[in-house]
Amino acid sequence: MNLEEMSKHFIHVYNRNIIFTKGEDVYLYDKNGEKYLDMGAGIAVSALGYSNEKYKQGLKDQIDKLIHTSNLYFNEPSIKAAEYITKASGLDKVFFTNSGTEAIEGAIKLARKYAYLKNKQSKGEIIAMNHSFHGRSMGALSVTGTKHYREPFEPLIGGVSFAEYNNIESVKSLITDDTCAIILETLQGEGGIYPASEEFITGIRKLCDDNDILMILDEIQCGMGRTGKMFTYQYYNIMPDILTTAKALGCGVPVGAFIAKTDIAKAMCPGDHGTTYGGNPLATAAVCKVFEIFKEEHILECVNKTSPYLVEKLNSLKDRYGSIVKDVRGMGLMQGMELNIKAADVVAKALERHLILISAGSNIIRFVPPLIIKKEHIDTMYSILDDILQDVQKYA
């Protein structure tokens, strides 16, 4: 089957050229049985890799029981999953969604409803960050701080302004009496793999406290253990008012969530929000199994043990190829390598050598491997990248 035949029934929003048919450990296999080392984890989703038997058995067991009932009724896995996620986050109330984008939509609605109940004349203004990425639906796009994502779809929802990430004065200058929320990624992903500085994130927490503004943290990508704690904000000794998560929450089964403090969550009442599939028994059985495996297999410890080695090897490439590699930054197993050339060129060359990498923006390679990655896998990646960068340098 050629590329044209594979693509003919799809709307062309992805440039795809390969069919993967199965996965094992940290590897994917194409339809010809060729093996690829995956350093992208399905865009930070497949935290447990591709063959965790406990995870697979948990889904099989749930399929034999119940897949869907709708949110008109409780189901047992969702009750258990809600307990797991509130305990892990330190927040109180959860709403399960089908994706990270939907989690952002819910967080925006909750913030605006909370503001409306305080003051029915509130304009519900939101401060977001430049270079942020929160999703592609109309609400999530409205708080995404990259113009080329937004402009073709305007007008979007109003009342959104954009501050500079890691610049607290920039945020202060945008606060008005109508500001109801400040939304940011604790570690910017698509915008270039930029962690929040401690001064910045604690400063935003104080601004929110002083001005009765809600702090929304987007940990759709950087949460669920990726940086070495269950959620990245736990490094900063602060708490958000609303948290969004997805991706590794279900490790491949589509599920997201927004979680809030009780006094904020109670702003929502029956009829304010809903989802047909969100929090169904299969999705939340996956969530439960993920939390259980994280504990049983010491996943956070794995991240904290392996991530320094990844950083060491990436910095070694920076030292060797300083004319190409501009910077290495990130936290835990969410790292970015900023290049002086197009990242897409390196990603394509890596794929030819059976190494899966993904980019963040135009010139940054994003490293978000399965959290079970081992040093020998990092060594393989290093060797391939070393060859590629050597070739690039030779012909530059």
Task: Give the residue extent of every domain in the chain.
Answer: 3-52+298-395, 53-296
- The CATH code for residues 3-52+298-395 is 3.90.1150.10
**Sequential DSSP letters for 221-261:** TTTTTTTSSSSGGGGTT---SEEEE-GGGTTTS--EEEEE-
The neighbour count for residue 52, using CB atoms within 10 Å, is 20
From CA 253, how far away is CA 268, in angstroms rounded? 27
Through-space distance between the first and last CA atoms of the chain, rounded to whole angstroms = 36
pLDDT confidence of residue 77: 98
From CA 217, how far away is CA 364, in angstroms rounded? 23
β-pair type (364-367, 334-339): antiparallel
Where the chain has pLDDT below 70, the residues are 1, 396
pLDDT confidence of residue 75: 97
**Phi, psi at 204, each rounded to 5°:** -65, -40
pLDDT confidence of residue 396: 63
**Sequential DSSP letters for 255-316:** -EEEEE-HHHHTT--TTS---SSTT-HHHHHHHHHHHHHHHHTTHHHHHHHHHHHHHHHHHH
Q: DSSP letter at 191?
A: T
Q: Half-sphere exposure (CA, 13 Å, Cβ side) for 221?
A: 32
- SS3 for 352-390 is HCCEECEECCCCEEEECCCCCCCHHHHHHHHHHHHHHHH
Residue the block writes with tokens 């992805």? 14
Q: Find, among 20, 13, 83, 10, the residue nearest to 46 by Cα.
A: 20
**Sequential DSSP letters for 117-149:** HH-TT---EEEEEBT----SSHHHHHT-B-HHH
pLDDT confidence of residue 261: 97
The neighbour count for residue 177, using CB atoms within 10 Å, is 10
Q: DSSP letter at 196?
A: P
- The CATH code for residues 53-296 is 3.40.640.10
